[in-house]
Amino acid sequence: MLLNKSLTLIGEGQPTIGGSIGITVDNCTVQGFQCFGISLTNSSNSEISNIRCGEIWLMNSSNSEIYNNSCENYIVGIYLFNSSNNRIADNICNDAGIGILLINSHSNIVSNNTCSNNTREGVEMNGGMFIGFEGPSNNNTVENNTCEFSNVGIGIVGSDNTIRNNICKHNMGVPSSRSGGIVLFAFHNNTITNNLCENNSFGISIGAEEISNNNIVANNTASNNYGGILTTSFNNTLTNNNVSNNTLSGISLAGLNCTLTNNNLSNNS
């Protein structure tokens, strides 16, 4: 089904539409259906909610709201490409390769989503949520999400992102800097605060693929991981973190000019 005129489409009792729904205009509302997937292309000010499907795609789309959807059992649950100033909230994205993926997408709010058991084959790296991957994504706010039982809970490739108040548990790829609860793969000036990272390979990893400088890691809890907090880059600030009961180490520094203040470390090997 292709929607090329602005309209509101609401399903009663969540009826099934065969195939996918494509939206190519502004100001569309689609609520309450089951379908294979939904795509927004060159669309703005649209709303997608209460949909049960395999995937939702936004391409070159902005100022839209994607909320209260269930996207499961496909390669990527919710995918934004070149799409900014959207709100992605209260969605369930489980049993995919990646739950939520942003590429070249900026100034979005990603909040209160659940991404679990995203280990499906067909993507380069499995994860609950990637903010940037093959293209950096900047200035996004990622908050109050639960990401668990994948290789990476929340992965970041970009700058000036805020990652706060998330729960990342049981993300257990092969123990390395590239797997764990929160993994900053590359770029700078991100703020990672008030997150709970437990039972992962690494709790928080900074600079997993490229030098990642001038990031703030504060008020997080990293416990019962293989490694607590790892930074391989420069001029990062780690403050007021609670790091305990990690197998390899509490805080590991492989970069220069990092600032550590008021961190609480206990029972790390």
Structure confidence by residue, pLDDT tens digits, 209-236: 788 999 999 999 999 999 999 998 899 9
Q: Residue 5, exposed/middle/buried by CB under 10 A (0-12, 13-18, 19+)? A: exposed
Across the beta sheet with 87-89, the strand order is: 8-10, 29-31, 47-49, 65-67, 87-89, 109-111, 141-143, 162-164, 191-193, 216-218, 237-239, 259-261
What are 122-170's pLDDT values in tens digits?
777 899 999 998 889 999 999 999 999 999 999 999 999 999 999 999 9
For residue 116, the cross-strand partners are: 148
Nearest to 122, CA basis, from 103, 97, 102, 101: 97
Q: Is the pLDDT of residue 173 over 90?
A: no
Average pLDDT over residues 250-258: 89
Name the pTM for this structure.
0.96
Distance CA 35, CA 261 (A): 51
Average pLDDT over residues 22-29: 95
Chain mean pLDDT for the chain: 94
Nearest to 188, CA basis, from 218, 161, 170, 150: 161
Are 210 and 225 within 8 A, CB to CB? no
- Of 26 and 122, which is predicted with more confidence? 26
What are 156-167's pLDDT values in tens digits?
999 999 999 999
